[in-house]
Chains A and B, each alone.
Chain A
Amino acid sequence: MANRIVVDPVTRIEGHLRVELDIQNGKVVDAYSSGTMVRGIEIILKGRDPRDAWAFTERVCGVCTTVHALASVRCVENSLGMIVPPNAEMIRNLMFAAQYMQDHVVHFYHLHALDWVDVVSALSADPAATSTLAQSISKWPNSSPGYFSDLKKRLSKFVESGQLGIFANGYWGHNAYKLPPEANLMAVAHYLEALEWQKEIVKIHTIFGGKNPHPNYLVGGVPCSINLDENNAINAERLAYVGTLLGQAQDFINQVYIPDLLAVASFYKDWAAIGGGLSNYLVYGDLPMNGYNDPSSFKFPRGVIMNRNLNEVQEINPADLEEIQEFVTHSWYEYEEGDETGKHPFEGETKLNFTGPNPPYDQLNVEGKYSWMKTPRWKGNAMEVGPLSRMLVGFASGKDEYVEAVTGVLTALDVPVEALFSTLGRTAARGLETQLMTGWSMEFYNQLMANIKNGDTRTATTELFDPDTWPDEAQGVGMTEAPRGALAHWIKIKDKKINNYQLVVPSTWNASPRDAKGQRSAYEASLIGTPVDDPEKPLEVLRTIHSFDPCIACAVHLYDEKGTYVHQVETF
């Protein structure tokens, strides 16, 4: 007889996530993932100016800020046939890169690290040995015995105060923590340094977009102008500022994040055999070097891998009505033709059917409907999206830098290629793509500088900005790769207004409930087999869930209060 445990709230994520787990003989035998908050943003978008949609959808998520704004301006540009100038494309790439570097570092240190790092154990670390450890893995300068000694004192006083703040009630001393005290102390030092650094890299958003979180975007390009002879525009000082921030990011990521990731991973190699879950991976691709309409120039290639077959990358077309279907069998609403049916998002209306218990409740009825999230499928298959999918598609595409990065980490950890399909693989993939991003961001920067040097200062295409130039009806799709995976927005414009607007987001792919065939999505599948040493302290469950970097506000925004599913486009 399995024992049901509930983790709610799942903390150190964005949004409101609940997981219910069946535990038997110290392992998860079944899992149920539920989104427990809704806002209804698409219904709010209806009837508004399409050029404003980026701002509304950007507010879907403030952790992965920018990604919805980018998908949104692209879907409007796609529908109107706008081509953005090369400078705007590079500035968007730079903002994209800044977002990844900040978001992935914050995820590793502030959202994920406490699953692996025992803060209390750090109190018994030897500062001199910590210094030796730190200097053996990196040339990062904050590594003296005195530095770690001061930190240890600070930490000791903090714990002695009795007010543990964010560290209160953690799973300290849990059997699943494996790091020696010195590694824990080093990680705590970098937790604090990362908190300090992350506010720097986002200044790239502030320079080009005026603020962070939620920088400004613009349909047709970017809002900032370039004028090398003007103090009120992007000039040499602003560009030098960006260059400096990129250099600092490169140092922090290569000298702190990546060495820490490898050091921590080397103590948790058993997690390379846990949490694999699904065997299918989906990527829309992004980071164009030759305009968004040339996917062959993308740094993140587009494609699908089925059954972990790294010898074949299949094509994907999100605009194809046959490819993506969504199911509601276990979601709190119903289809007119029956809840077993799968429907393309464009094909119809869905009514809410809230069958969950009224709050306060102890358990959801997981045999029936149990989440606000709908369940997307690609050609009937459950797909994982995110950093692991991107690294696998890049690797399977035979791109040199991916092959080099992946084989490098496998060699460093002395694990086989199958180790990628795991909780640890997901966490490592996030680090690898961040490292790739440090190099790519310099390419974007250099291309922007070269373009300006050649006399091109355009940052926006405005010929089609005025709605009077638009056709009576238009529609389009905008895709991107959010840090958490494949993201797309679809828009239908009628009489200069939004007629319909839809999003299918990464955490919907990964965190959704079962489909009509009972197939689990990525979270639920990956939790099966996860060990649980102490059901009262489900630390191991958090490791696997956090390896996906959940972003639940993104995933559960799709319904209005009457249960009208917003994916209601009659045609595409």
Chain B
Amino acid sequence: MAIKQKTLYEEIREAGHSRRDFLRFCSMMAAYLGLESSGVAQVVEALENNPRLPVVWFHFQECTCCSESFIRSSHPIVADIILDKISLDYTETLMAAAGNQAEEALHATMEKYHGEYVMLVEGSIPTENEAYCCIGGRSALEIVKEAAEGAKAIIAWGNCASAGCVQAAKPNPTGAKPVHKVLKGKTVINVQGCPPIGEVMAGVIVHILAFGRMPQLDRMGRPKAFYSRRVHDTCYRRPNYDAGLFVESFDDENAKKGYCLYKVGCKGPVTYNACGVIRWNNGTSYPIQSGHPCIGCSEEGFWDNGPFYQHLPSFPGFGIESNADKIGLGLGIATGAGIAAHFLATNVAKRKRIKNEDIVINEK
């Protein structure tokens, strides 16, 4: 069957959105992607002329929060256009077909678009016993390896697919592993968080659509556009930290004034994510703004770095307990130094894992 692929711009116009809407969308995406204003033209050009990408979305050991977050993406046309218009050919959560018909749809895309489709993975893969996660009678491990073979790009959604998340917390009873650990030699984009912010998920897809290559990744495989800043550094409560103004217990007088949550366990100083900038659900709020410490959900192994309500100097890897009850700038410097050391150490360990190679997608 001949396939006429439409460009995103055509889809948007047919959906009844104006060119003005389209350009506003492109500007917004360019801004989120951290581009200079000249980059907007590139986004416009790419979305107008590139055909829709076939996409397959797998679910393994997960809770579906990533799918839910994706459909929360709030820009005027992302839910309408990106979600439907990338040609989402397989997703157990939303697809009409079930059973054999669903599996047929998957294989049709994998064959017809071999080497062309984008593979999205939500969930970790159990390795203790393959029978711990089966779909259509086949194991997650078998499915992920088969699909990766013909994928042009692989995106790991959320902490499960990027780092194993809650089921990989000690003692990891099912041997849950992230995608990059079962697909050796493949480049995987790790869109971290539990879940990732919806607009970040959409932004990564738009980046691939618009520029025909992968976004720049950090050494944990995370797109730099969204994961290069600590929550601490972009936190609007940061001046309270610097001034030594802390919440001592939940709902105390200081909590009612919105002071820094560091002493009730905030992991913002060791967490790289866009929460402080993009915020959640169309910029409505983010955990710290709503009075709860960051639990560090975009970091590998964050479940085992708790307890959540214990403040950071006793965080594993930080030898600065003596500063625990001092407040103010001195502590800030000490903590910062500890964080830098921690981050460097982590990066060295991960260095070999990620090869940030651009790949060409939708080459015209």
Contact = CB atoms under 8 A, between A and B. Distances in A.
Contacts of B142: 359-360
Given A218-B292, A225-B256, A60 B63 contact: yes
B174 A39 contact: yes
A231 B94 CA distance: 39
26 contacts: A12-B92, A12-B94, A14-B64, A36-B133, A37-B60, A40-B167, A40-B173, A44-B167, A56-B303, A150-B16, A157-B6, A161-B52, A163-B52, A166-B95, A166-B96, A168-B97, A169-B101, A169-B102, A210-B286, A211-B286, A230-B258, A232-B257, A241-B284, A359-B139, A360-B137, A459-B250
A210 B133 contact: no
B295 interface: yes
A206 B281 contact: yes
A195 B284 contact: no
Interface of B: 1-6, 14-16, 52, 54, 59-69, 71-74, 79-80, 83-89, 91-105, 108, 126, 128-139, 142, 165-167, 169-176, 194-195, 198, 237, 249-252, 255-258, 275, 280-282, 284-292, 295, 297, 303, 306-309
Contact of B16 (A40, A154, A206): A154
Interface stretch (A61-69, A254-262, A301-309): A61-69
Contact of A199 (B73, B255, B289, B303): B73
A362 B105 CA distance: 19
A214 interface: yes
Q: Which of B165, B256, B308 has the most chain A CB within a 10 Å cutoff?
A: B256
A210 B135 contact: no
Summarize A's interface: helix, strand, loop or mixed: loop
B1 A162 contact: yes
Contacts of A205: 281
Q: Which of A7, A40, A110 has the most chain B CB within a 10 Å cutoff?
A: A40
Contacts of A170: 95-97, 101
B169 A360 contact: no
B33 to A, nearest CB: 21
A465 interface: yes
Contacts of A60: 63
Contacts of A212: 72, 280-281
Contacts of B306: 48-49, 52
A359 B130 contact: yes
A15 interface: yes
A154 B61 CA distance: 36
A166 B70 CA distance: 15
Interface of A: 6-16, 18, 36-41, 43-44, 48-49, 51-52, 55-56, 59-63, 65, 110, 114, 119, 150, 153-154, 157-158, 160-163, 165-171, 192, 195-196, 198-199, 202-203, 205-216, 218, 220-221, 223-227, 230-233, 241, 354, 356, 358-362, 457-460, 462, 465, 536-538, 542, 553, 560-562
B73 to A, nearest CB: 7
Contact of A110 (B64, B94, B139): B94
Given A40-B173, A195-B83, A51 B307 contact: yes
Q: Which of A8, A208, A210, A562 has the most chain B CB within a 10 Å cutoff?
A: A210
Given A36-B134, A163-B54, 5 more contacts: A39-B174, A162-B3, A211-B275, A230-B257, A538-B99
A199 B285 contact: no
A216 B173 contact: no
Q: Which of A49, A221, A232 has the most chain B CB within a 10 Å cutoff?
A: A232
B237 A356 contact: no
Nearest to A114: B96
A223 to B, nearest CB: 4
A63 B175 contact: no
B217 to A, nearest CB: 24
A206 B285 contact: yes
Contacts of B174: 38-40, 560-561
Nearest to B284: A206
Given A8-B136, A48-B306, A225 B251 contact: yes
B256 A226 contact: yes
Contact of A213 (B14, B69, B292): B69
B176 A462 contact: no
Contacts of B69: 62, 213
Contacts of B93: 11-14
Given A37-B61, A359-B142, A227 B257 contact: yes
A211 B281 contact: yes
Nearest to A553: B63
B308 A9 contact: no
Contacts of A203: 281-282, 284
Nearest to A497: B307
A55 B166 CA distance: 9
A165 B88 contact: yes
A62 B286 CA distance: 17
Contacts of A169: 95-97, 101-102, 104-105, 108
Contacts of A538: 98-99
A221 B251 contact: yes
A211 B283 CA distance: 10
Contacts of B176: 39
B64 A62 contact: yes
B68 A62 contact: yes
Given A62-B66, A165-B89, A166-B84, A214 B16 contact: no
Contacts of B307: 48-49, 51-52
A62 B256 CA distance: 30
